[in-house]
Structure 1
Amino acid sequence: MKKLLIVACAVALMNCNENPKSGYAIISGKISNKIPNELSINSYDQSFKEVLAVSADGTFSDTLSTNRSNYVLFDGKNPVFLYVEPGFDLNINYNAQDFANTLNITGNGAEISNYLSEKRKEEQELLGNLRTIYALDEAEYLDKLNSFKAKQESLLHNANNIPENFIKKEERNIHYNYLRMLGVYEMAHIQLAQDANFRVSEDFLKELNEIDYSNEEDFEFSHHYKALVSEYYKKKADNLSKTEGMPFDLALLKTLGEIPNKAIKNGLLFDFANFHLVKSENVKEFYKLYSEYSTDEENNKLIADKYKKLTAIEIGKASPKFVDYKNHKGGTTSLDDLRGKYVYIDVWATWCGPCVREIPALKKVEAQFHDNNIEFVSISIDKASDFTKWQNMVAERELQGIQLFADNDWNSSFVKDYGINGIPRFILLDPNGNIVNPDAPRPSDPNLVKVLSELGV
């Protein structure tokens, strides 16, 4: 049996030798003219990513655990939105150079995934440029939103062979998307219209007051509902943080820990801890609170492993090392080569928009501290197939400092030892190779210059 999505059979609490219909689905297919990027299966919330093996002729096959229903198959450019249930057997075929016109999903259970594909096309056509839509005045925005919702509902009810239980849940999912767009309008309009005094009318958000935040079925099915629930508890945590003077991350853990519904509580606790444990200024207290409230054993094992890795990279401890990374100027460079100087490390990739946006600020900081006791090191985690692309970008953008190429992209030991699951990531080390900050301020953050100055760099 092919490698399982997420972690392993233990995560799904099932026997690998069971019939796929008991808890698994199969996806397979062929991508013609595949672009030279990895093919991966991802969760909607990007909490996990599994790389799939692709044959030379573009064919692939994998077995998925169905403890999740919604996935995105992604080749680096073209996303295929999939829905799976136990026993589904989906076959996905398309030409990567003409994705929109060639995507074809067949097999047992394909009807829902085909509906999701059409839904995405319609969303792109109806919404177009969101910046333009958020800039509309309130009445125009509501008209646009209601029209969009009506067309989505029409698409759903005109789809062929969609199970009734899915239709009912999807109707609510469409409504939750509508509610989310109501909720973000005021802030988005303030920014786009550059009108700090703008406020929506008194009854604009009245429908948000009708949301039931304890619907477990919708929490598991709808990422829009999940986002609404998450935002609701973040607002409660913000109030707690302000009234009790406690850090927001700890206030949120405490708030989430008091949710009556166990599935919603554990789901939100895990999502928050998985991404934010590394960012906490008090990792031990964060982990202690998480452990007190979370009752999901599998989630707890994953967070415990993350915690162990984080405590291995605490401030003052020796940094994990990289060895013999290819240097853009020629030869190789290891972390030990830089002893005797502070080291500011930027983990990035050419395809990462937020990483590229930091380049001007990084150049500015490098110039400010150019003659000081510090090395600025940029480590690319691009795929080996993008080595030339990396070389060209470094040259074209005249990137300064020490430009290195990691030995195994995301799977490089240095990246894994720091628990990096999102980039850009910045790390600051002292002249002895010890950790000053495992999640240092970005170059665009004024605090970086302040920190470096206070260290006497």
Structure 2
Amino acid sequence: MKKLLLILFAVSLIVSCEKKEKPKDFLVLSGEVDNFRKRTIELTGYNFERKIRFDRKNKTFLDTLKNITPGHYTLKIGKRPVQVYLSSLDDLKLIVDAKKRTKDPVFEGATANINKYITEKAKKLGVVLGNANKLFSMNEDEFLSKMDSYKSTLEDLANASQLPADYLEKEMRNINYEFALAIKNYQGFHRILYGDEEFEVSDQFPMDIPDDIDLNISVDYINSKPYRDLIKRRLDDVTNKKNRQDGDFDLTYLETVHTEINDTLVKNDLLHKAAEKQITTTINLKEYYRKYNSYSTNTANKAEIGELYNKLKLTAKGQPSPKFDKLENYNGGKTSLDDLIGKGKYVYIDVWATWCGFCKKEIPLLKRFEQQFHGKNIEFVSLSVDRPSSKAKWKQTIKDREMSGIQLFAGKTQEELQFTKDYLIKGLPRFILIDPDGKIVNANAPRPSRSEELIELFEDLGI
């Protein structure tokens, strides 16, 4: 009996030990924050958002993060962003002042050295490079000298910061991406700062550096924004070269991602980010969706874009237009879409806002079209999606810019107004053309700045 009890005890001990040795699959993120009174702190990263409750009484926060992707994240503590690196398992604690930005955060935990390095690296940006406008205003030799100095400074800092070998290897690549992106940006930024659209870098300027970068490293894609920016710039360049002047950039971009990118994570994310916006503006909806669906292999992403596609089919050519009802008219009274259709006239709607710079650039061009087609079978409607607090600014803008046509004020943003939600309007300005019977001619009609295309459309319709 004693022997049996000993055996049972031993088995019990082994089982108990096995339970205790269950591998950890989470990290604890905690901190102490001074000069902060809000109830939540935001943690954001690559395709990641989370709100963390802040204990105002004890000035602390704590959250358990399970199965988190290792990488760089941002803790938004009020107006102070704190860049942090999180592994999937190592707990991290920080002590920070939400207002005193000159006071560096203090980190505790296995990743403390990495996070201290990130803080020190951010300070080098201002010390070595200074003001961005001054940097990109420099001549080529000065600019390249500054960038070489910055790159060397960061490499020295990384090597001296006692970083884990795997992180150091990734960070050295990231430093190179930052350097390459600045090289890529120099010509364009220099043109803007000097107002010289004809400026070209010399033959000696190393413009080919960004082209030497491998586009298929998923771990860098997750951890490095400069790397993601470089990939996007490269794909845009390739797409523009492939795309003829009268071609469809959106469709060509999907094809470029499919042919140029091999890594599954990178490809799926690029396709998804493009489709989220482009599918709402493409003029070839059915073909765009077909191509996206054939190229993407991410089930969740495909379901999301499929849902957008099904909604967009409701605003396809020939479908009855969604309606707006009783919006404030600048000239007095209320106006609904039903007041404008059924009278033998097409309706060309400009969805805009006073805060939108691109919208304002279209205003003088829109006025010319209104004058050119005055008295014809078309109404020009400008529908503001400013917030209610911007009503006075809306009225003043109309007065100052001598805007004509029918001016309407929704008092709701494009995310709130049902009319714009039905059209899935994500960016402004957006132009919509509706026929005299209230059916959609084009849910993403050419802007006035695409004058030849718009005139051709009007002429084909007999306007």
**d(CA) in 1 for partners of 2:369, 2:48:** 34
Q: Which runs of 5+ in 2 are unaligned?
A: 1-23
Worse-matched range after superposition: 247-256 or 259-268: 247-256
Q: Deviations over 1:31-52 (max 9, x none)?
A: 9698xxx9987767xx898999
Aligned amino acid, residue 397 of structure 1: T
Aligned amino acid, residue 182 of structure 1: I
Displacement, 1:335? 2.5
Displacement, 1:378? 2.1
- Residue in structure 2 matching 1:402, options 394, 398, 407: 407
**d(CA) in 2 for partners of 1:164, 1:120:** 21
Q: 1:419 to 1:145 in 2, by over 3 A?
A: same
Q: Deviations over 1:123-182 (max 9, x none)?
A: 4665555454334322112012223334444665677x9766444423322210211121
User: Normalising to structure 1: TM-score of the pair?
Assistant: 0.72
Counterparts of 1:38-437 in structure 2 under 5 Å?
A: 66=68, 69=71, 84=86, 86=88, 100=101, 123=125, 127=129, 130-153=132-155, 165-189=166-190, 192=194, 194=196, 196=198, 198-202=200-204, 204-241=206-243, 247-258=248-259, 259-327=261-329, 332-339=334-341, 340=343, 341-363=345-367, 365-366=369-370, 369=373, 372=376, 373-382=378-387, 387-388=388-389, 390-398=390-398, 400=403, 401-407=406-412, 409-437=414-442
Q: 1:317 to 1:238 in 2, by over 3 A?
A: same
Aligned amino acid, residue 217 of structure 1: V
**d(CA) in 1 for partners of 2:414, 2:32:** 26
Q: Which protein is bigger by CA-based radius of gyration?
A: 2
**d(CA) in 1 for partners of 2:220, 2:229:** 11
- Percent identity over paired residues: 32
**d(CA) in 2 for partners of 1:168, 1:347:** 49
**d(CA) in 2 for partners of 1:351, 1:77:** 22
Displacement, 1:309? 1.9
Tell me what 1:446 maps to.
Answer: 451
CA contact under 8 A between 2:84 and 2:115: conserved in structure 1? yes
Residue 338 of structure 2: SS of its match in structure 1?
Answer: helix
Displacement, 1:222? 1.3
**d(CA) in 1 for partners of 2:392, 2:117:** 41
Q: Deviations over 1:224-280 (max 9, x none)?
A: 21222333344444454459x964433332332233322222222222222222332
Residue 279 of structure 1: SS of its match in structure 2?
Answer: coil
Q: 1:183 to 1:408 in 2, by over 3 A?
A: closer
Displacement, 1:374? 0.8
CA contact under 8 A between 1:25 and 1:86: conserved in structure 2? no
CA contact under 8 A between 1:237 and 1:251: conserved in structure 2? yes
Aligned amino acid, residue 385 of structure 2: S
**d(CA) in 2 for partners of 1:303, 1:158:** 46
Displacement, 1:299? 1.2
Aligned amino acid, residue 148 of structure 1: Y
Displacement, 1:301? 0.9
Q: How many residues align?
A: 425
**d(CA) in 2 for partners of 1:51, 1:377:** 38
CA contact under 8 A between 2:349 and 2:433: conserved in structure 1? yes
Displacement, 1:67? 5.3
Q: 1:113 to 1:353 in 2, by over 3 A?
A: farther
Tell me what 2:11 maps to.
Answer: none
Q: Which runs of 5+ in 1 are unaligned?
A: 1-19
Q: Deviations over 1:272-315 (max 9, x none)?
A: 22222233232211211221121111111111112112222112
Q: 1:117 to 1:233 in 2, by over 3 A?
A: same
**d(CA) in 2 for partners of 1:130, 1:407:** 36
User: Normalising to structure 2: TM-score of the pair?
Assistant: 0.71
More relative contact order, 1 or 2 (CA 8 Å, 6+ apart): 1
Q: 1:324 to 1:94 in 2, by over 3 A?
A: farther
- Supply the RMSD in Å over aligned alpha carbons: 4.7
**d(CA) in 2 for partners of 1:153, 1:40:** 30
**d(CA) in 2 for partners of 1:214, 1:114:** 29
